[in-house]
Structure 1
Amino acid sequence: MDFDLQWLLWGLPVAFGLGWLASRLDIRQWKREQQESPRAYFKGLNLLLNEQQDKAIDAFIEAVQHDPGSSDLHFALGNLFRRRGEFERAVRVHEHLLQRADLGAAERQRAQYALAQDFMKAGLFDRAQAAFESLDGTPFETEARLALLGLHERARDWHAAADVAARLERSGTGSFAQRIAHHHCEMALQADDQGRADEAEAALAKAREIAPAAPRPWLQTGQRAFAAGRHAEALRAWNELRRRAPHAFALVAQDHARAALAADQVDAARQTLQQAYQEQPSTDLLRAIALLDPAPAERRQRLAVHLQQHPTLGAAAELLAEPPQDWAEGAVVGLKQAVTRAARPLQRYRCAACGFEAQHHFWQCPGCLSWDSYPPQRVEEQ
């Protein structure tokens, strides 16, 4: 059968023309869809920047309808729902993303992390924990572990919290030694509550080993010994606390004095407390010293000197507890300084619109520029 070349000459131009026409139709449709989708997307962004979240959500829903395959639009919509507290809708958006077969691995992990955040915000902690745990080995691993750490601490699951914190530290996220020490101190408290003294002691030993400079393990060790009547042991623990973390010693200063009285170590304890007071003066240390040196005249003299040098309300209250006729010289001056210093913040005017405080009354607030927003009364008189 002979092939007629004339059909070939006519067919090629026709096929080319039909192909060109089809491509033009596809391009026009694609351009139209692309124009409609960004228009709704940018409209949503503009409304979001103008803090019109309701309208922004409507715009993003419209954008998703025009481009249902765009994962970024779904993430934006889900985040908006979460910010508004509509956690159920946020969960549905992110679960819909996870069900898509065409979603890449990176986007799937991102959706899983967003879903875990939805559960967390909604108070569904069991589901949030499972979602965060599934992110091990992904780029969201560190964020997920930090969230898990907070979840375990909220649930007071201190063993799990310590394990997660240790993994974070091993991964190079940062130092969690002091936080882990707190976890072991909490384990010690739980063990003591349940009558497991050996376990409590082991937990405190572990805390001291993990964070030797942390104050709480030494403080709590002394408190356990003091409660058990082992006063000399308590003094050793608290002296170690003072050596390693002197700023926290005032927290147990009075118990330190009581333990010294019980252990007949008054002179050494008085010297320790006086030295601590010289380094970091406080009324707690003054009360502890007064337990070891209860002479009224010396106690009032120490209080008067402290009040003059450190005019605080706490010191003023201590002085006011003494009979006025027994006040030491200079006590009235210190009392006046303390009261004046404490009253100074209350002598200001405060804007009712923005809370801006000033020593002088303004008709127009310098902070928010509102007119007549300053009440004529000072803060303490309102």
Structure 2
Amino acid sequence: MEFDLSLILLALPIVFVLGWMASRFDVRQLRMENRQAPKAYFKGLNFLLNEQQDQAIDAFIEAVQSDPDTTELHFALGNLFRRRGEYERAVRVHQHLLSRADLSQDDRYRARHALAQDYLKAGLLDRAEEALLKLEGTRFEGSARLALLANYERSRDWEHAAQIAHKLESGGQGSFKGRLSHYLCEQAASCMASDDLPQAQVYLTQAMHIASDAPRPRIDLARLQIRQGRPAQAYETLTQALVTAPAAIALLAPLLVESSLACDQGPGALERLKAVYEETPSLDVLDAIVALEAASGAPSATAREWYAHHLESEPSLVAAAKWIAGEKLEHEQFHPQVQRALDQAVKPLTRYRCAACGFEAKQHFWQCPGCQTWDSYPARRVEEL
């Protein structure tokens, strides 16, 4: 067949025109897509800034649908779901990210960290632990360890919590001696509940060695010694606590009364408590003084004198209620009703209050039941704060 050059010359302009039209169509489509995706993204961002989370989620879903490869939008959407409490949807978003083969290694770690947070918020502690352990050696290691620590504390797994606390301390993220001491005390409490008193003493001795100025190990050890029938040792333990942890005197005062009376050390304990009270007046110390004086045979009027003395320096409704309980009123027939009203009024004042979240309780807690913060309860009652 004879080669016809004229056909080629005629075809070249046609090919050029078709190529130009195709390129114009691709550019126009690309520009349209680029305009649509940012528009949905910025619309969602605007809703988010105006705290309109429902509309923000809808806008981000629209943006993700128009560009499924946008990882940042997936992270934003997952975080929004978690903040709204829609943990199942947040999990699906982050699991979808992890299933993508084109995801960078750093984004993979980021998605795993976000997934662990989803599990934690949803209360799926086992799955959260599994996800957090896989972040060792990554840039999320520090925050993952802190989350693991909170996870183990929440599930009362004190041994694993201690391991993580040691890692955090060796990694330069602060001192965890106080927490480690609490973990040992919690293990000692479990041993005491199961009547394994020797092992409980081992834990408490270790706790005192780790945090020598912490009040809890000595207070718990004194309780253990009283239970073992060794009040003299308990009294000695508590007198040491008066020196190492003077701020906790209000907590150990009742135990000091019990142990001192059991080992005939009442007068010595009374003098110690009086000296402490003169420096720092406290309702619990005052009650301990009244109890020791009553045990020594002092008349009941002595107690009222102490409460009256307290009222001279501290405007205390609790002390006033206790003082008036022993007084003879002019209209004595109304005394029971007045006393019941006063006792009801002072109940909220005798509680302990968490300094971190404000949670109030009748008893003192070393770890707040509300916010899980350690040592957030002052040793003083609400009225004394």
TM range (shorter): 0.7 to 0.9
2:235 corresponds to: 235
1:275 corresponds to: 275
Q: Distance in 2 between matches of 1:172 and 1:11?
A: 74
Q: Distance in 2 between matches of 1:197 and 1:12?
A: 98
> Aligned-pair distance for 1:8?
11
Q: Deviations over 1:10-31 (max 9, x none)?
A: 9999988776665544433322
Q: Retained in 2: the 8 A contact 1:187–1:200?
A: yes
Q: Distance in 2 between matches of 1:162 and 1:307?
A: 46
Are residue 303 (structure 1) and residue 303 (structure 2) matched? no
> Aligned-pair distance for 1:297?
3.1
Secondary structure at the counterpart of residue 101 of structure 2: coil
1:360 corresponds to: none
> Aligned-pair distance for 1:71?
0.3
Secondary structure at the counterpart of residue 248 of structure 2: helix
1:372 corresponds to: none
Are residue 43 (structure 1) and residue 47 (structure 2) matched? no
Q: Distance in 2 between matches of 1:163 and 1:284?
A: 37
> Percent of counterpart pairs with the same letter?
50
Q: Distance in 2 between matches of 1:246 and 1:221?
A: 17
Q: Distance in 1 between matches of 2:113 and 2:16?
A: 49
Q: Distance in 2 between matches of 1:202 and 1:131?
A: 34
Alignment of 1:325-336 (within 5 A): none
1:42 aligned partner, one-letter code: F
Q: Retained in 1: the 8 A contact 2:290–2:306?
A: no
1:99 corresponds to: 99
Alignment of 1:1-150 (within 5 A): 23-150=23-150
> Aligned-pair distance for 1:41?
0.5
Cα distance change of structure 1 residues 265 and 20 upon mapping to structure 2, 3 Å threshold: same
1:312 to 295, 310, 316: 316
1:109 aligned partner, one-letter code: Y
Q: Distance in 1 between matches of 2:85 and 2:70?
A: 23
Higher mean displacement: 174-183 or 9-18: 9-18
1:300 aligned partner, one-letter code: R
TM-score, structure 1 as length reference: 0.79
> Aligned-pair distance for 1:213?
1.1
Q: Distance in 2 between matches of 1:114 and 1:58?
A: 21
> Aligned-pair distance for 1:153?
1.1
> Aligned-pair distance for 1:137?
1.0
> Aligned-pair distance for 1:318?
1.4
Structure 2 unaligned residues grouped into runs of 5+: 331-341, 347-385
> Aligned-pair distance for 1:58?
1.1
Q: Retained in 2: the 8 A contact 1:254–1:291?
A: no
1:119 aligned partner, one-letter code: Y
> Aligned-pair distance for 1:121?
1.3
Cα distance change of structure 1 residues 19 and 181 upon mapping to structure 2, 3 Å threshold: farther
2:313 aligned partner, one-letter code: Q
Q: Deviations over 1:157-205 (max 9, x none)?
A: 1111111111111111111111111111000001111222222111111
Cα distance change of structure 1 residues 14 and 239 upon mapping to structure 2, 3 Å threshold: farther
Cα distance change of structure 1 residues 29 and 304 upon mapping to structure 2, 3 Å threshold: same
> Aligned-pair distance for 1:113?
0.8
Q: Retained in 2: the 8 A contact 1:247–1:280?
A: no
Cα distance change of structure 1 residues 289 and 30 upon mapping to structure 2, 3 Å threshold: same
Q: Deviations over 1:39-87 (max 9, x none)?
A: 0011111112222222211111110011111100001111111122211
Q: Retained in 1: the 8 A contact 2:222–2:255?
A: no
Are residue 323 (structure 1) and residue 330 (structure 2) matched? no
Secondary structure at the counterpart of residue 212 of structure 2: coil
Q: Retained in 2: the 8 A contact 1:258–1:291?
A: no
1:189 corresponds to: 189
Q: Distance in 2 between matches of 1:44 and 1:308?
A: 63
Structure 1 unaligned residues grouped into runs of 5+: 327-338, 344-382
Q: Distance in 2 between matches of 1:8 and 1:278?
A: 112
Secondary structure at the counterpart of residue 161 of structure 1: helix
Q: Deviations over 1:222-264 (max 9, x none)?
A: 1111222211111111111111111111112122122112212
Q: Retained in 2: the 8 A contact 1:238–1:249?
A: no
> Aligned-pair distance for 1:209?
1.2
Q: Retained in 2: the 8 A contact 1:257–1:266?
A: yes
Q: Distance in 1 between matches of 2:82 and 2:241?
A: 46
Q: Retained in 2: the 8 A contact 1:191–1:200?
A: yes
